[in-house]
Amino acid sequence: MLLDLTASSVDLTRAICDIPSVSGDEATLADLIEASIAPLAHLEVIRHGNTIVARTNLGRAQRVVIAGHIDTVPINDNVPTRDIAVAGEPHLWGRGTVDMKAGVAVQLKLAAELTAPVVDITWMWYDNEEVAASLNGLNLLSADRPDLFAADFAILGEPSNGQVEGGCNGTLRAIVRTHGVRAHSARAWIGENAIHRAAPILARLSEYRAKEVTVEGLAYRESLSAVRIVGGVAGNVIPDLCEVEINYRFAPSKTAADAAAHVRGVLEGFEVEITDAADGARPGLDAPIAQQFVAAVGAEPRPKYGWTDVARFSALGIPAVNYGPGDPHLAHHDEERVPLAQIDAVEQGLRAWLTAP
């Protein structure tokens, strides 16, 4: 079985969405992509685990990386896909339609059809984007084959409503702990309740007002949120430990170290452990090649609030943007769905730029 790369991007989206590829279970789809791309004489194909790389070697003056992840979050009765209408507009409904197999389908079709693009292209389809960075196929590929990342510009097919979203916010996670003394709840005054001591933490987070930070003309909105709270021993025990997990989304003008210092400042007086942090990515839209791309696809640049793998390219000094079909608000949603017109529009936008005289 092979993918029909002559089919429309919509039909390709339907085909690859109907192949389950939850993070950690991408081998079937990766095999299919490799087998379908391998016969194309204009592409050099490289496999690294379940990441597939296909690149032209035309000797062009510039090279662009165009990448997309092939994994999804877990399925929840939303595969196979189906066609639906929303406000009279045709959509494709199902897991992965937004995040981000519609973008991958567009890339696969163009990879097959564009035998002589105006720039050399390195296509990357990678696994394990939705889980830990240590498993991320793009991350592992960059460690083992940094030569494949040599490029002047990068485009990630993350859902952006068919618009160009420059860079991305950074993200930081931390655990804030309070301690107490265990006691029988019938004699609560004997102990010290760690959960009660967490109340000021929640109050500070509730009162926190997120900033909007302008970076290279784009306004990135920050947020600082409690995302999990754990505490308690038993139904009749005063708890001696409470942990509040927080997530800080910060503008790309800050480093992860800046973000950590800010969180510690907001929560001064409490025990704070930074458990994970990743820098964001500046928009990079001042690069001439990025400006040419934006003009060709006819989009108005916007900020990307969520963290995406554009940050990996930005860290290498490669300007990178997000450009793909689908509403980011519907990513991971049980009603995940993409307008068919957006799939076509993104395909036409990329095609126009990559074939412009």
Q: Give the residue numbers annotated as catalytic, written as ranges.
A: 71, 129
What is the distance between the alpha carbons of residues 171 and 307, in angstroms, rounded to a whole number?
7
CB 118 within 8 A of CB 60: yes
Q: How many CB atoms lie within 10 A of CB 81?
A: 22
The pair phi, psi for residue 350, each rounded to 5°, is -65, -45
Tokens of 164: 């160009």
Strand-pair partners of 155: 66, 321
Determine if the peptide bond prior to 100 is cis (ω within 30°).
yes
